[in-house]
Structure 1
Amino acid sequence: MYHFVWIPKYRRKVFYEPYREAMKIIIQKIDYDYDIDIVELEIPEDHIHMVVKSESKMSPSQIMHVIKSISAREFFKLYPDIKRRYFWGGKLWTQSYFVETIRNATEDTIRKYVQNQLLELDKKEVHGSQLGLF
């Protein structure tokens, strides 16, 4: 299994509703079309966590290339206003991403971590943002 994390360009906080749900649907469609086998997917406002079974016929870099390229194209088709407002360079995603291999001993831990990403976001919203120095 692999745990992926990637962010939108400029770390924009664009994945609030309805955009979060739309991106989830887009990625799930890619999962189905390319037989990737995503077992966990969570989308906080400014990044994405995804856990993929390693039986996929694609390498982690191929998986990421397919998901990033198709999801950006489909997301911008649905929401061209978001592209104009936040992504003036025309790219939804940064070039980089994080990926780690998950062993059986840590699979449950990573899955719970991914599932709890929105809970952590809610806690931060309740406590407010950090006070500035100036």
Structure 2
Amino acid sequence: MTETAAVERRARRRADAGFLACLVGPLVVAVLLNAVIRPWLAAGIGGERRSSGSGVRSNDTWWRFDPATQAEHPLLTGFLETSDGAIAMLALGATVVLLLGRWAVRAVRARRAEREASAR
């Protein structure tokens, strides 16, 4: 294997890893939030679990708190009162934004390399 082929393979692997990070990263964060962190936080401050199961796929879950807890922890209760489905949609939106940003950065770099190559 030549030196340039090895460099090209490393660059391709790095590009693939960036794509996977943009694609899987927000999904992992959303799953961890909805499955582990949010239930733990809600149990810690005495939240009452609510869910609506009108679909075939799964229940949409959120927590309710008494007014005293809401006054004491307004940001945390606001976050926990957001449904799991809303968190999942935010993760999907983050995935789209990350992939579009990645595409834009790669397009700018390709144009810059093309201009530098034509200037030589």
TM-score, normalised to structure 2, is 0.29
Q: Which has the larger radius of gyration?
A: 2
Q: Which of the two has greater strand per residue?
A: 1
Q: Which of the two has greater helix per residue?
A: 2
